[in-house]
Amino acid sequence: MNTAQFIPKSTTSNIKEATFTWKTPSNIALVKYWGKSNSQIPKNTSISFTLNNCHTITSVKFSKIDTVATVNFDLFFEGKPKEEFTPKIAEFFKRIANYCPYIFDYKMVIDSENSFPHSSGIASSASGLSAIAMCLMSLEKELYPEITSDFINKKASFLARLGSGSASRSIEGPLVVWGNHKDIPESSDLYGVRFPFKIHTIFKNYQDAILLVDKGEKQVSSTVGHNLMHQHPYASNRFLQANQNISKITKILSEGDIKAFVNLVESEALTLHAMMLMSNPYFILMKPNTLEIINKIWEYRAQHNSNVCFTLDAGANVHVLFPESEKKAIHKFIDSELAVFCQHKQYILDEVGLGAESL
């Protein structure tokens, strides 16, 4: 794998001070990433919808200093210093140092805010890390003006991946594939690429309502969950199935086969949770209200000949997915029948988005 392409040569450019601000989205996987090997290499290919409304806005102010041995940064979240995020970001800088050696020449002040409620149970690492990665790439563009926008997106995804795998899918949109796959040209284990085929119009403005069932701390971190796939009795079949699902969904997304989409996406969500149920130690991340919502969705779908479906990430919240044509009816359904299963009746209406934006 060619990681050398991401190591910059030394430069004579001298940027004394610069501030960059990026808004980057969260994403929701349709075919899930669950299982990885060292340096964040996925065991199977995954694909996600990029979201629009759930995002992070991050500014990084770079001020030139004498080169230091340990990365020098201050971190603010919603205007206040955020000690508990510092170790994760310090670890991120450690992992990317080889590819961004210029970070040792700057003091960085990072200012971040999320559009979604703090500790809503929505993973903020994908949007948070991709935003920092884009700010770093803006500095790199100043230092190396010859780099192309294609390279910037690729390397930003590569850097974000080293922080958190799913963050590699939060640079572009509307659909991003991460992980090398025989049917997806240019796909790579190192970074996400935009879904390279025709996307049927029905999927271009797909809707996602995120029902906040449980806003508590996750009982099991993603990293622990991924690691449990190492001794998992069903791991190799799961990786095979996921890669087959990538081939299937490629056709579904191009042809607009919504019934097949519903089946594949729900099966992926339940398989992800089945892997958790069958690992050792075993764990259950769904809550009783997660199941109440799933049953209501199935009931509604049958009664109204609807195409609404659900997916889950590694938690209890439910992503309700539906085509734009059903927006009015599904909003009503959520409000009258599903919101009651959410903490404080909270949910977030989102839709497919196009990726990172410079502000």
Instruction: Give the residue with the Cβ less far from ligand DP6, 222 or 290.
Output: 222
Spell out, one character per residue from 70 to 109, where the chain touches ligand DP6: x when CB under 6 A holds, - when not: ----------------------------------------
- Termini Cα distance of the chain: 33
3-state secondary structure of 353: coil
Contact between 46 and ligand DP6 (CB under 6 A)? yes
Alpha-carbon distance of 245 to 240, in angstroms, equals 9
Residue 296 CB neighbour total at 10 angstroms: 20
Whether the Cβ atoms of residue 270 and residue 229 lie closer than 8 Å to each other:
no
Q: Which stretch binds ligand DP6 (CB under 6 A): 148-156, 221-229, 244-252, 324-332?
A: 221-229
Asked if 238 is part of the footprint of ligand DP6 (rule: CB under 6 A), the reply reads: no
From the list 29-37, 74-82, 294-302, 335-343, the region that binds ligand DP6 by CB under 6 A is 29-37
User: What are the b/e assignments for 330-339, b being 16+ CB within 10 Å?
Assistant: beebbeeebb
Q: Which two tokens stand for residue 177?
A: 């594939």
What does the alpha-carbon distance between residue 19 and residue 359 come to, in Å, rounded to a whole number? 11
Tell which one of 56, 222, 279, 289 touches ligand DP6 (CB under 6 A). 222
Cβ nearer to ligand DP6, comparing 34 with 77: 34
String of contacts with ligand DP6 for each residue 150-169, x by CB under 6 A? --------------xxx---
- Supply the minimum distance, in Å, between the C-beta of residue 23 and ligand DP6: 20
CA distance 2 to 131: 24
| Out of 6, 23, 25, 32, the residue judged to bind ligand DP6 by CB under 6 A | 32
* Least distance to ligand DP6, CB of residue 179, Å: 10
Number of neighbours of residue 346 by Cβ within 10 angstroms: 15
Nearer to ligand DP6, 46 or 52 (CB): 46
Percent helix / strand / coil, the chain, rounded to 5: 40, 25, 35
Exactly one of 24, 25, 26, 40 binds ligand DP6 (CB under 6 A); which one? 40
Q: Which of 119, 223, 237, 325 binds ligand DP6 (CB under 6 A)?
A: 223
How far apart, in whole angstroms, are the C-alpha atoms of residue 4 and residue 334?
A: 49
User: Considering beta carbons, is residue 59 or 241 the nearer one to ligand DP6?
Assistant: 241
Q: What is the size of the binding site for ligand DP6 (CB under 6 A)? A: 17
27: β partners: 50
Length of the chain: 359
Phi, psi of 44 (to 5 degrees): -145, 165
Please, what is the angle between helix 125-143 and helix 86-96, to 10°? 40
**Least CB distance to ligand DP6 at residue 231 (A):** 17
Decide: is 313 part of the binding site for ligand DP6 (CB under 6 A).
yes
Instruction: Say whether residue 33 binds ligand DP6 (CB under 6 A).
Output: yes
**Residues near ligand DP6 (CB under 6 A):** 29, 32-34, 40, 46, 123, 125, 164-166, 222-223, 226, 272, 313-314
